[in-house]
Structure 1
Amino acid sequence: MVSTKVKFIAITIDELVLVPIVIAIVYFFIPELLVPLSILLIVGAAIFVVIKYYLVYPSLEESSYYLYDLDGAIGKVTQTVTAQSGKVKVGQEIWDARCDEGQISIGTEVRITARESMRVKVVPRDEYS
């Protein structure tokens, strides 16, 4: 797995590369503004990185997103669920689903017991304990 710091650097480096490019352009076309614009660009880039760090860094961590912590959520079967396949609607999303025993017919309310990648494991709502 790639560390969170490496991810942050990777998504920030392109903005920081613009600073020396703009400084070079200013040097060639408006040399009298080189010092004040360089200071402004460097300070602005530093402020930008700090703000971006606090806004973006937490979303780069490997923790589970709360929207996809589906254990215990209630859904409705939209395509018959078997041990191999099926579909359930949870909120506004339709998920691939499977069950351990038998099959669950369309329209049945189910409770999610686990999420495995992009597939959920379900049981009929009244069987859940």
Structure 2
Amino acid sequence: MYCMVSPKVKFVAMTIDELILVPLILFLVYFFAREYLFIVTVLTVVGAGIFVLVKFYLVFPTLSQEQSYSLYDLSGVTGKVTKTVTPTEGKVKVGQEIWDARCEEGEIPIGTEVQIVARESFRVKVAPTESEW
């Protein structure tokens, strides 16, 4: 099941894992080059702030847009039959993918152009396109 997550939560989750490098850098400088700790701290904090601001303005708007999952939005898409489609089985090529398919009634022969009527888990329900009738 798909769960909606707010864009703010997505942004924070994507940013926290990258900002974990800040304390790691400061830890290494503290133990190996303590004389540079102040300047490295200032540069790291300023750099992290700039990073978050740039990322916020570039990435955040894309997170708040309604996403389309084309894998699930197959209704109306056309394809070609690669194995005769019956009410119980068949194969259809849609784009570069081969899908298990079935039709409502009768048989749809190989090479027929079909339109996807519905998606049923990993199988699609198809019908011949208007031009094939």
Question: Structure 2 length normalisation: TM-score?
Answer: 0.71
Counterpart of 1:30 in structure 2 is: 33
Specify whether residues 66 and 80 from structure 1 end up closer, same or farther in structure 2 by C-alpha distance, changes over 3 A only.
same
Specify whether residues 18 and 73 from structure 1 end up closer, same or farther in structure 2 by C-alpha distance, changes over 3 A only.
same
How far 1:59 moved relative to its partner? 5.6
Specify whether residues 72 and 24 from structure 1 end up closer, same or farther in structure 2 by C-alpha distance, changes over 3 A only.
same
For residues 2-28 of structure 1, the C-alpha deviation after alignment (integer angstroms, 9 at most, x for no partner) is 624444444433222111011111111
- For residue 49 of structure 2, the aligned residue among 40, 46, 50 is 46
Specify whether residues 51 and 94 from structure 1 end up closer, same or farther in structure 2 by C-alpha distance, changes over 3 A only.
farther
For 1:67 and 1:94, the matched residues in 2 are separated by 12
1:74 aligns to 2:60 (yes or no): no
Q: Name structure 2 gaps, 5 residues minimum.
A: none
Q: Which has the higher helix share?
A: 1
Pairs aligned (count): 128
For 1:86 and 1:50, the matched residues in 2 are separated by 52
Q: Is the 8 A contact 1:7 1:60 kept in 2?
A: no
For 2:53 and 2:125, the matched residues in 1 are separated by 41
Secondary structure of the residue that 1:65 maps to in structure 2?
Answer: coil
Secondary structure of the residue that 1:72 maps to in structure 2?
Answer: coil
For residues 18-77 of structure 1, the C-alpha deviation after alignment (integer angstroms, 9 at most, x for no partner) is 110111111111122222222222233333344445437736877323475332221001
RMSD: 3.0
Counterpart of 1:106 in structure 2 is: 110
Specify whether residues 84 and 12 from structure 1 end up closer, same or farther in structure 2 by C-alpha distance, changes over 3 A only.
farther
Counterpart of 1:91 in structure 2 is: 95
The residue type equivalent to 1:86 in the other structure is G
Secondary structure of the residue that 1:13 maps to in structure 2?
Answer: helix
1:3 aligns to 2:5 (yes or no): yes
Secondary structure of the residue that 2:51 maps to in structure 1?
Answer: helix
The residue type equivalent to 2:26 in the other structure is I
